[in-house]
Structure 1
Amino acid sequence: MNIEARARRTRLLGGAGAVLLLAGVLTVVIALRAQRSAPQPPASAASPVNVIPTGTTPPRPPAGPTATVPGPGQPNGPSSGSGGTRGLILPRSRPVRLQIASIGVDSTLRQIGLNSAGEIVTPPLDKDSHAYWLTVSPTPGELGPATIIGHVDSAAFGPGVFFKLGAMRQRAKILITRADGTVALFEVERVAEYKKNAFPTQQVYGNIDHAGLRLITCGGDFNSSISSYDSNIVVYAALVSVRSV
């Protein structure tokens, strides 16, 4: 290779390196901008309200034990049971659609489980962000805390399905369409933010005395050195009514 050719190749490689460096900087900038604009819940959002209707609980089929799954940085552990139940309890039926008008969510529900270490599998980062029902949790409407997770954002695609989850407040409505042709209406009890290294596993995933719902995403500060958020946002909700599709 002659000197002129080598020089030309060096210029091309240098230009390619500059482009790659610029792309990396843009990725970090996009991630930081997305994180700063994602709403975070105030302390007042964590104060619980009672949304479960009072009255006679309708008959329900026998329910099995509620699965307990680990939160970030937390070991698995046993759940504590309850002596009675409150509110409506529905039979098991796979959830297929999630709608939250107050934050503009309308997503088909995909399924996700646990990995070999017993931790929740991280959903894929796709351009069309979806919410995922955790298959080891109850189905929405069953006794226990049905769990749905989704991304807040990504450097590649921007805001995710739960980008505005931190903007939810007490008594907000959540609709879940189920495979049996019913639509379960949930209302928010509270919205809390937890550091990942202090995630309250039992409080989020443990057995409860009603048909509950947990919506979970990332929140808090974004650590660019590890490309991760330091907190989780958890929306607690309860079943208040049911109707046909």
Structure 2
Amino acid sequence: MARTTVLRDRLTAAARHRRALDALTVFLGIGGLTLVVVGAAPPPAPTRAEQVARAPSRSTAQDEAAAQEQATATAGTPPSGAPRAPRALGASVPVRLEIPAIRVDTALMELGLNADGTVAVPPLRAKAPAGWYRNLRTPGETGPSVILGHVDTAAEGPAVFYRLRELRPGDTATVRRADGSSATFTVESVVAVPKPDFPTDDVYGPVAYPALRLVTCGGTFDRLHRSYRGNIVVSARLTATG
């Protein structure tokens, strides 16, 4: 009887976590945002609001061990010819993001959760900075780090991640951190996907290396629903620190 109860509880927890990721995916489909982070698991004792619809949060030591095992089997080593990965950094709040190839140089604001449990986003203004989701890893730590930013606004035109789709493998993004250090990531892939096919597992799934995910809206604009029909997802890996 005890083993049956434990199994039932584990299955229930897994189902709740999956519904939370699905809710986040739906939410990201509404605005012109960008998100960056990977390797998440829900924290203990979530608040009532967070139970409604929450994003993944920092992994526990046990989750990281599982991430290491999975990454060994699925992530493999960096692409041939890529520089040797540097040692992961400790935690430090990111304060600035620079992407030379598309002339992005933006301050980073911290983002949490709204009262209803959905992910907060930067103000909908053309000059609004990108935002770092603080419930996940800081850029440079082992695991995921996520940054959100609008693609454009109806009233003011292009926003901070307007040119995100132009990035190509080999381009770099550098995050300046509050402790004076920096983490430089090299782009591995840039993918355009319809919102119903948002790659939740690829963006938020556990990895055993410092990863950066940049996500913004893309594709054609649905005038009826006032939203874009797709997303641009950029995946990058830590390749230098300073």
- TM-score by structure 1 length? 0.65
* CA separation of 1:162 and 1:68: change in aligned 2, threshold 3 A: farther
CA contact (8 A) 1:99 1:107 kept: yes
Larger radius of gyration: 1
Which AA in structure 2 matches 1:203?
A: D
> Are the counterparts in 2 of residues 95 and 139 from structure 1 also a CA contact under 8 Å?
yes
Aligned to 1:231: 230
Report how far residue 75 of structure 1 moved: 8.7
For 1:144, the equivalent position in structure 2 comes to 143
- Give 1:123 deviation, angstroms: 2.4
**Partners of 2:94 and 2:108 within 8 A in 1:** yes
**For 1:82 and 1:115, how far apart are their aligned partners in 2?**
31
Partner of 1:66: 40
CA pair 167-128 structure 1, distance change in 2 beyond 3 A: same
Backbone CA RMSD of aligned residues:
2.5
Structure 1 residues 116 and 196: alpha-carbon distance in aligned structure 2, compared to 1, 3 A threshold: farther
Q: Does the residue aligned with 1:92 lie in a helix, a strand or coil?
A: coil
5+ residue gaps, structure 1, are 1-64
2:173 aligns to what SS in structure 1? strand
Q: Is the Cα–Cα contact under 8 Å of residues 109 and 132 in structure 1 kept in the other structure?
A: yes
Query: How much identity, in percent, do the aligned residues show?
Result: 42
Amino acid at match of 1:114: L
Q: Which runs of 5+ in 2 are unaligned?
A: 1-38, 44-52, 78-84
Kept in 2, the 8 Å contact 1:99–1:174? The answer is yes
Q: Which residue of 2 aligns with 1:187?
A: 186
Q: Deviations over 1:111-147 (max 9, x none)?
A: 1122344432232112412110011110000111100
Distance of 1:125 and 1:172 partners within structure 2: 27
Instruction: Kindly indicate whether the alpha-carbon contact (under 8 Å) linking 1:68 and 1:202 is maintained by their aligned counterparts in 2.
Output: no
1:82 aligns with 2:68: yes
**1:75/1:119 CA distance change after superposition, 3 Å:** closer
Residue 101 of structure 2 aligns to a residue whose secondary structure is helix
Residue matched to 1:8: none
